[in-house]
Chain A
Amino acid sequence: MPVDSRRLQGPENSFSYKLLEKKNDNEEEAALSADLQKILIGTNKVRKDKRIPSDARPLCNVTITGIVSQAKGSAYIEQGNTKLVCGVYGPREVQKKSDFSLNGQLFCEFKFAPFSCQKRRGHQQDNEELVLSGLLREALEAAVCLHQFPKAQVEVNVMVIENDGSPLAAALTCASLALASASIPMYDLVIGTSVRQLPKLLLLDPTKDEEWEPELNHDEDNSNLTIGFMPSTHQIAAYVHEGVSKTEDLEQMLKLATEYCLKVQPVVQLCLKEVVEKTLSNESENKVDE
C-alpha cells in the first residue's frame, strides 16, 4: 500500500466498535440468507419502513440552486436517507491534451464521503467508486448533446453524504438535475431507479438492508437492477443488473422501474420549472436596477 502523505493517517490496526457486537451474529447471518424475504417483509406485506413493495421513498429536499454557489450548476437530493450533492462545472478546456476529441466530453467523479457508509471509507476513489463513475458517465453521455460543445469538457462531481441504498439511481437523477441547472443542452433528463428482486417479490427503491449483496445472495431469483430512464423519449440510458434472475422476471422488473420513472418525471420537471422562473425574475429585477 502506498502511503498517502497528503492526509493524516490514523493508526493501522484500529477497528470499528461494531465488531465487538458481531460475535454471535454468524448464526443470524445464516438465517438471514435463508429467510431473507421474511425478514425484509413482514406478514402483512409491509417493509421495515412501512412501504408496500412497489412503493419508492419520496424524493425530498430537492434543492437545485445555490447548494454549490461556485459551480455552474448544482443539485442536492434526498431519497429516504440517501443524501447526495452534485456539482457541474464547464464546459471548459480539456486538461489532458491526449484526451482530445471533436465532440464534447463528460468527466464524472462519483465519491462516497468517508462517513457515508456503515463501514468507514477511504479518501481515495476505490474500485467501486470508479465503476460507479464510469456507469454515471456512460448514462449521462446518452442524454447530453455532446456535439454542442466540441473540444470542451463538462465535469460532473457527485458526492454521497449518506448512503442508504440505491446510490447510483439517486446520483443519476441528481446529476441530470445539476446538468439542467447548469444550462448544459440535453435531449432529456435521466431519472434513475432501482429494483430488488427476491423470489416472487419485487421491491422498488431498496434501502441498504434490502439491497442485493454479492457475498450473501448468490442463489437464483436474487438480483438488483438499476436503470437510468429518459422519460420523454422513452429510452433507457443505463441498465445495470447484478445477481441471477430469469429473463421473464427481468421484463417485470424493468416495467416496474420505468413506471416509477414516468411518475417521477413531472415532479422533477416542476423543480426545474421553479428554478427557471426564479432566475428569470431575478434577471428582470437586475435589469430594472441597471
Chain B
Amino acid sequence: MATDHKTLQPLEFYKTFLDRKTRPDGRSLLEFRRMTLNAGSIGTADGSAIVKCGNTAIICGIKAELVAPERDEPQKGLIIPNVTLPSLCSSHIKSGPPGETAQAATQFIAELVNNNIIMDLETLCIKNSKWSWVLYCDLLCINLDGSLLDACVMALVAALKNLSLPVVSYDEEMDKLISNIEDKMGFHGIKQPVTSTFSLFENGILISDPTFEEEQLAAGVISITMEGTSVTHLYKPGGCTLNEKQVKKLMQQSELKTKEVVKLIEEACSPMGVEPID
C-alpha cells in the first residue's frame, strides 16, 4: 500500500512525512546522516580517503607529479580535481563522458581550490618559477545517494591530509631535482572547509543532507561551505527563494556539522586510525 502511494505520487507521499516533521528514513528534518571516514587505505595512491555519508560513498585518491609552474603564476602549484560519476554509482548515470552532475561537481571543487579555500597553493611550490607539485585529485563516486558535494569536500580534505610524498629539493648548481625517498612529508596548512547541503521545499521547509530521492523531489538546493565559524563559499543554483531567517538557521546547522566533520577528519588522519562517529 505504502509503496504504491510512493510510486504514484512521490511528492504527496513525501509531504505526508514532512507535515509530521520527519522523513521516510526516520531522520528529523535537520538531521545529518551517519558519516564514516577512512584515510590511507589505498596503497597505490599518494594520499587517499574513503568517505561514506549515509549511502553516498566517495573515494578520493591523489597522485602527485612534478611540473614547471605556469609563467603567469610562477610561485603556485596546481591541484587538479576531477569528480567522476561512473555508471557503477547510480542507475541514472549512463556510461560514457561525464554528465552535467559530474561536471558541475568538478567545477564546484575547482572553485574551492582556486580560491585557496582548501589550501594555499603556494605551499606546493618547490622552487619559484622552476618546479612545483601538481596533485591530481580524483574523486570517485561509488554510490550516489544525494549530497555529493558534502562527501567530495570531506574526502578531498582528508586525502590531502593523508598525503605522503618524498622530500624533493632543487639543486641550483646542478639545475636538477633531487628526491629523497626515505624522508616522507605531507603539506602543512591544509584548511578544513566543510560543505553542508540542504534541500528546500516550496512551503519553506528545509531539510539537511538530502538523499538522491529527496534531491529529485525538492524545489531547490543550497550548499554552504564553512571553515570554523565563517562562511567561505555559498552555492545556491536557482530554485525557490529563501529569506534571511532561513539562511541564518542553515548557517547554524552547517556550523554544527562543521564541528563534527572536523573532529572526524582529525581522528581519521591521526596515527590512531579510524573512528566512526554518529
Contact = CB atoms under 8 A, between A and B. Distances in A.
Given A8-B81, A10-B136, A159-B86, A71 B91 contact: yes
B38 to A, nearest CB: 12
Which of B89, B142, B145 has the most A CB atoms < 10 Å from its CB? B142
A71 B57 CA distance: 13
B42 interface: yes
B80 interface: yes
A15 B179 contact: no
A274 B127 CA distance: 57
B65 A16 contact: yes
A10 B78 contact: yes
Given A89-B91, A115-B44, A120-B65, A8 B82 contact: yes
A113 B59 contact: yes
Contacts of A117: 44
A102 interface: no
Interface in A12-32: 13-17, 20-21
B62 A115 contact: yes
Contacts of A71: 88, 91
Interface stretch (B15-23, B95-103, B231-239, B260-268): B95-103
A290 B97 CA distance: 44
What is the size category of the interface that chain A forms with chain B?
Answer: 35 or more
Contacts of B134: 10-11, 14
Contacts of A68: 88-89, 142-143
Contact of B140 (A69, A86, A113, A157): A113
A87 interface: yes
Contacts of B246: none
B196 interface: no
Contact of B138 (A67, A114, A118): A114
Given A20-B177, A113-B138, A157-B87, A15 B95 contact: no
A162 B44 contact: yes
The winner among A8, A69, A89, A113 for most chain B CB atoms within 10 A is A8
Interface residues of B, number: 53
B144 interface: yes
A17 B168 contact: yes
A114 B42 contact: no
Contact of B91 (A70, A109, A113): A70
Nearest to A86: B88
Contacts of B95: 109, 155, 157
B229 interface: no
B142 A14 contact: no
Nearest to B166: A17
Given A6-B98, A8-B81, A161-B42, A17 B66 contact: yes
Contacts of A69: 55, 143, 145
A15 B136 CA distance: 11
Contacts of A155: 87, 95
Contacts of B90: 70
B29 interface: no
Contact of A21 (B55, B57, B181): B181
A114 B59 contact: no
Interface string B211-240: 010000000000000000000000000000
B43 A4 contact: no
A183 interface: no
Which among B1, B82, B165 has the highest number of chain A CB atoms within 10 Å? B82
Contacts of A265: none
A184 to B, nearest CB: 15
A70 B89 CA distance: 7
A87 B88 contact: yes
Interface in A87-141: 87, 89, 95, 109, 111, 113-118, 120, 123
B144 A163 contact: no
A157 B82 contact: no
B178 interface: yes
B43 A81 contact: yes
Contact of A162 (B42, B91, B143, B179): B42
Given A11-B67, A157-B87, A115 B48 contact: yes
B61 interface: yes
Contact of B106 (A8, A95, A290): A8
A115 B63 contact: yes
Task: Choose among B44, B102, B103, B140 the residue with the greatest number of A CB atoms under 10 Å from its CB.
Answer: B44
Interface of B: 1, 42-45, 48, 55, 57, 59, 61-68, 70, 78, 80-82, 84, 86-91, 94-95, 97-98, 102-103, 106, 110, 134, 136, 138, 140, 142-145, 165-166, 168, 177-179, 181, 212
7 contacts: A70-B143, A70-B212, A115-B44, A115-B48, A115-B61, A163-B44, A290-B1
Given A85-B88, A116-B44, A162-B44, 18 more contacts: A6-B103, A8-B80, A10-B80, A17-B65, A20-B178, A69-B55, A69-B143, A89-B87, A109-B86, A114-B61, A114-B82, A115-B63, A123-B84, A162-B42, A162-B43, A163-B44, A164-B44, A290-B1
